[in-house]
Structure 1
Amino acid sequence: MTAQHTSSLPPEEDDVRVTSQLKFDRRRKVNQYVRQERIGKGQHGEVFLCTDEDLAGREVALKVVKRNNPRDRIKLLRRTHQQNVRDGEVPALSSTEHSIRREIAVMKKCRHANIARLYEVIDDPKQDKIYLAMEYLSGGQVQWKDAEGKPILSVEEIRHIIRDVILGLEYLHHQGIIHRDIKPANLLWTKDRTIVKIIDFGVSHFNPDLQSSTPLKQPEDPYNEALFRESDLLKRIGTPSFLAPEIVWFSEYAPKQSPATSCETLASGSNSVTVKDGSSILPSQRPPITKAIDVWSLAVTFYCLLFGHTPFNVPESANENVYHNEFVLYNQICTQDWEVDETMGCDQIYTGGRHPIDDKREGPMVVSLLDQMLQKDPKDRLTVSELKRNPWILRGILDPNEWITDTTPSTSRDSSTFLSRWKQASRKILDFLPRPRRIPPL
């Protein structure tokens, strides 16, 4: 990779630039990026709004991350010692740098209109910070409830959001990438609030064996194998309320171990567990961690947008111990059914309840779709491709077959052609959809 920008190419078709020299100018300028106000702060760093002087003042989000965190030092020393004993090992990274390099490796592979772009990585080995210049999405996070916990989006707006996330996830899964942290906070609007994009790939996982076919972007990072270990998939990383049952699995979820839960052993004598209404079965052994965890997280996100709360919640009277409360939540995710409010969306469309009569009304269609996404056993869950073809998702599209073809990732065309065809397909939808309402920040 070269640090020199190829200005003849439009920004959406450039490769990610990697720059190894960092220059400061009175702390207000990082290389060509002029820093404005801070727009975000996380556990490992900050995000600043900047303007890119090389591209006529284009706004970017500059993420600044320290390579090392004081809490990383002991773990890093221990891991380095263990690895030095074995020849040929990749040098140990701190957990903080591991996360940022994982994010860089994933974002380098992505060119899709529903995924936030990474423009440049400034990685000067003499500095203790790494800088990521990313697409600035000024529309902000997808807001989903008001101060009273009521949904603030219409069902039509929710369909638009979920449809965009489906397209982004389909592309990621096609590339062999599992996001692992889909939730409303990781979905951002473009400035005109017409497109939703997925952000935050710090806990994402890449496995070339998961790719549908030859990837559009070949892996370039020699640390890929060290960054994406299969054992990492078993870690409970992500937001607790959005984690899939196979992530929060406990072998002691049998009834004799959890008498307060609403589960019972199947009469067949197997160790499988089913919720009382028989709607969903938990396998007797922990299922493998696959792309299906993103479908579960998307379903929880979908539920949040519809009803203003998550489907599984720790009771208010629960123990103050955070670990106890997480265990209670995980127990619910693995063994209990979820409830459905009487209405959904700010337009209060009638749902028909948890098990509505199967008809063509809006509410029963949505509840049925949620049911297919929130299956305890990942083998029974819809895939993203199946979800994309659901009649409720396709509602309002004039030519669904053409839209499906135009928005499906394929190695028969390069990334620029795919983006062009995706935009054409998106315009066909936007021409017939009501413009999303501007929802003021809470």
Structure 2
Amino acid sequence: KVIDLTDVTQDYKTQFLPRELFAIKKLRHRFIVTTFDSFFVSTRVFIVMELATGGDLQDMIDKLKRPVDDSKARVIFRQVAEGLNYIHNEGVVHRDLKCDNVLLFDDQKVAKLTDFGFARTSYLSPTGQSVLVATTCGTQEYCSPELLSNHPFKPKPNDCWSLGVVLYVMTTRKTPFPLRHQRRRQLKKKYSKTGITNDDCKDLIQKILEPEVSRRLTIGQILAHKWICNIIV
């Protein structure tokens, strides 16, 4: 990955880039893309990562021209969820989780999270509560209703929402909420379930795409859900 510093904003240079470099050095997990080195040459930043021979998840879905098979979707989703669980346990939030940021390896049998350009530390208050953040970032189709409200929000539940959108895209080949009136549709839970053939998968999506943060599944609860709890990866 090569970043030309003449093409980015000052905020990116002073906030987002340092956070990304910190995250990729800190995070080491079998479902996180490995970074070997990063260095500056003149006005460019070079980030050396493992080669994803299988492309990204969005490319795979586009080329399939059909939803991902249930058995394969379970494995990919479990791997991505374990990667997200790891970074959350390390005190990091991704904030731009989407199919494009899931890279595939080993004949598309292994999925790994990548692109920590919007990642940041998930700070805790003295009482142990997650500190709210106000920065709006990420890809709109994958953003939670609380992020789109333009009010401070908890970043970990937002990551879980995005993970739910990833699952929805794998099973339907489209995002659940069109950009027009997106937040209103989210709050009313108005999305099509056509094409989601597995009832357990449908149940999991419904519980992740829950607009009320207090009722939305956490990453631990997602991993314990019956659709993927017995998947060994």
Normalising by structure 2, what TM-score?
0.87
- Write the letter of the residue equivalent to 1:67: L
Matched residues in 2 for 1:247 and 1:162: separation? 23
2:170 aligned residue: 305
Q: Does 1:185 align with 2:100?
A: yes
Partner of 2:144: 244
Counterpart for residue 65 of structure 1: 3
CA distance in 2 between counterparts of 1:208 and 1:287 reads 14
Specify whether residues 377 and 132 from structure 1 end up closer, same or farther in structure 2 by C-alpha distance, changes over 3 A only.
same
Cα distance in 1 for partners of 2:123, 2:134 equals 18
Contact 1:249 / 1:334 at 8 angstroms: preserved in 2? no
Residues 259-286 of structure 1: CA deviation (Å, up to 9, x unaligned)? xxxxxxxxxxxxxxxxxxxxxxxxxxx5
The 3 A distance-change label for structure 1 pair 146 and 132 is closer
What count of residue pairs does the alignment treat as equivalent?
A: 226
Indicate if the aligned counterparts of 1:68 and 1:96 stay in contact, CA closer than 8 A: no
Quote how far apart the aligned CAs of 1:209 are.
2.6
Higher relative contact order (CA 8 A, sep 6+): 2
1:166 is aligned, of 81, 85, 88, to 81
* 1:375 counterpart residue number: 210
Aligned equivalents of 1:110 and 1:290: distance in 2?
18
C-alpha root-mean-square deviation of aligned residues, in Å? 2.3
Whole-angstrom CA distance in 2 between matches of 1:208 and 1:123: 28
Task: Give 1:338's aligned residue.
Answer: 191
1:222-371 equivalences in 2 (<5 Å): 233-249=133-149, 288-314=153-179, 325=180, 328-341=181-194, 343-344=195-196, 351=197, 363-371=198-206
Determine which of 216, 229, 232 is the counterpart of 1:394: 229
Paired residue secondary structure (1:139) = coil
Q: Distance in 1 between matches of 2:215 and 2:91?
A: 20
Q: 1:176 aligns with which of 85, 91, 99?
A: 91
Residue 95 (str. 1) matches residue 16 (str. 2)? no
How far residue 332 of structure 1 moved from its aligned partner, in angstroms, is 2.4
Write the deviation string for residues 389-422 of structure 1: whole angstroms up to 9, x where unpaired: 111102455xxxxxxxxxxxxxxxxxxxxxxxxx
SS at match of 2:2: strand
For 1:336 and 1:381, the matched residues in 2 are separated by 12
Comparing both structures, which one devotes a greater share of its residues to helix? 2
Choose which of 61, 77, 101 in structure 2 pairs with 1:144: 61
Tell me, in whole angstroms, the C-alpha distance in 1 between the residues paired with 2:70 and 2:62.
13
SS at match of 2:49: strand
Mapped to 2, the partners of 1:240 and 1:290 lie a distance apart of 15
Look up the equivalent residue of 1:107 and give its one-letter code: I
For 1:152 and 1:376, the matched residues in 2 are separated by 25
Q: Which amino acid is the alignment partner of residue 223 of structure 2?
A: K
Matched AA of 1:167: E
**What is the distance in 2 between the residues matched to 1:131 and 1:103?**
12
> Within 5 Å, which residues of 2 pair with 1:200-211?
200-209=115-124
Change (3 A) 1:235 1:382: same
Shift of 1:153: 1.6
The residue identity in structure 2 corresponding to 1:96 is: Y
> How far apart, in 2, do the equivalents of 1:242 and 1:112 lie?
24
Segments ≥4 residues shifted beyond 4 Å: none
Shift of 1:236: 2.3
CA distance in 1, matches of 2:16, 2:210: 30
Please state how far the C-alpha of 1:309 moved relative to its aligned partner.
Answer: 0.9
Contact 1:145 1:152 in 2 (8 A): no
Give the Å deviation of 1:151. Answer: 2.7
From 18, 26, 41, the counterpart of 1:109: 26
Give 1:118 shift.
Answer: 1.3
Task: Give the fraction of aligned pairs with identical amino acids, expressed as a percent.
Answer: 26
Please, which of 33, 37, 40 is the counterpart of residue 123 of structure 1?
40
1:330-380 Cα shifts (integer Å, max 9, x gaps): 332334422200x33xxxxxx3xxxxxxxxxxx221111111111101111
Letter in 2 for 1:291: K
Pairwise mapping of residues 384-423 of structure 1 onto structure 2 (< 5 A)?
384-397=219-232
Inter-partner Cα distance in structure 2 for 1:392 and 1:336:
21
Deviations 1:199-230 (A, max 9, x none): 000011213438xx9xxxxxxxxxxxxxxxx7
